[in-house]
Amino acid sequence: MIDVTIENFEAEVVTASMTTPVLVDFWATWCGPCKTLVPTLEKLETEYAGRFTLAKVDVDANQQIAGMFGIRSVPTCVLMVGGRPVDGFMGAQTEGQVREFLDKHLPSAGELQAEAEVDEAQQMLESGDTQAALQKLAEALAADPANDDARFDYVRLLIATGGYEEAAGLLVEPLKRIPQALRFEALHQWLQCMQFVQQDERGNWPLEQFDAAIAQNKRDFDTRFAKAQVLAAEGQWTASMDELLEIILRDKEWNGQAARKLLVGILELLTPPKPKKQDAVPGKSAGGIELLGKGAGEQDAATALVNSYRRKLSMALN
């Protein structure tokens, strides 16, 4: 439990909630229901073992903070996640009611374990230990099968290391979802490119052989698409996308829009991932409690490349 004042509010509530949810309890010394609620909150903070942090704000001593949240009565609790309020409740609650509120928003123990193992896997990849990273991602997915970040990272690494059969199996469920899970469709497209190179004789063609065939017939879309798949499998993304654009410009509907689907998949794979923990942004809880904040991001080279080819695709389709 942390006592919050205006001096430590930014660090202990806003910044801290970027990594661990913070439940802010607005209370007053003269408030009887507040005294009833506090032991319940403290007990649950201990029981939940790090899944959230309890922060207490004395509204009489910290009227500026209370004003920021629009507090009109106490006790009022506000849950901060990612630097903004996501929900809250007013008045004394039973332990069961508070537990139900927390469970609606907090990650489970399995989810936390999976997130930690995904982070460890990333560190292992950065140090060059691919096999250990694969093992960690497998453990993360086993701990939390619903964790799409773990599934995505694991499948992506499996494809990159030649584990095509296992990758295909792990893609079955997300590819059945409606609406379509775009990032998993992107992995599916990339997997098909890798399998094409492995299974089709054209996977061993030098690029000059593709170019010679295309020079004989500009509308030989099958050869163009095969070349694009080989380029994608080799990680030559821009060259692959250029070839796919040539198909789209000549025949948007060829082979069930295969060229468009692969190009969209490549763009999704190239799109830089969003930060796991966002800077504080304007937000409002389900109870109407508001907090103002600002967030900004700069476009990097990868984002610029993706945006450039999105524009090219849009122009080709119109």
CATH number, position 152:
1.25.40
Is 77 a residue of the active site?
no
Is 34 a residue of the active site?
yes
Average pLDDT over residues 298-308: 82
**Whether residue 285 sits in one domain with residue 266:** yes
Answer with the one of 104, 124, 158 that is the final residue of a domain: 104
How many domains is the chain partitioned into structurally? 3
Average pLDDT over residues 45-67: 94
- Asked if residue 148 has pLDDT above 80, the reply is yes
Q: Given 34, 79, 80, 157, which residue is catalytic?
A: 34
Average pLDDT over residues 191-202: 96
| 142-146, 295-299, 304-308: segment of lowest average pLDDT | 295-299
Average pLDDT over residues 285-291: 36
**What pLDDT shows up at residue 173?**
95
Helix (H, G, I), strand (E, B) or coil at 298: coil
Say whether the peptide bond before residue 145 is cis (omega within 30 degrees of 0).
Answer: no
Answer with the one of 70, 104, 138 that is the final residue of a domain: 104
Average pLDDT over residues 246-271: 96
| 23-32, 70-79, 100-109: segment of lowest average pLDDT | 100-109
Q: Given 24, 31, 114, 137, which residue is catalytic?
A: 31
Q: How many residues does the chain have?
A: 318
**What pLDDT shows up at residue 275?**
59
**What pLDDT shows up at residue 287?**
35
The band of 128, judged by pLDDT with boundaries at 50, 70 and 90, is: confident
**Whether residue 285 sits in one domain with residue 212:** yes
**What pLDDT shows up at residue 276?**
54
**What pLDDT shows up at residue 292?**
35
Task: List, for residues 235-257, the tens digit of each pLDDT value.
Answer: 999 999 999 999 999 999 999 99
Q: Which long-range contacts (CB under 8 A, 24 or more apart) does 274-282 make?
A: 277/18, 277/19, 277/82, 277/83, 278/18, 278/82, 278/83, 279/18, 279/83, 280/14, 280/82, 280/83, 280/84, 281/83, 281/84, 282/84
**Whether residue 141 sits in one domain with residue 93:** no
| 20-24, 250-254, 278-282: segment of lowest average pLDDT | 278-282
**Whether residue 297 sits in one domain with residue 170:** no
**Whether residue 78 sits in one domain with residue 30:** yes
Answer with the one of 160, 175, 190 that is the final residue of a domain: 175
Determine the structural domain holding residue 126 and report its residue range.
Answer: 108-175
Q: Greater confidence, 34 or 114?
A: 34
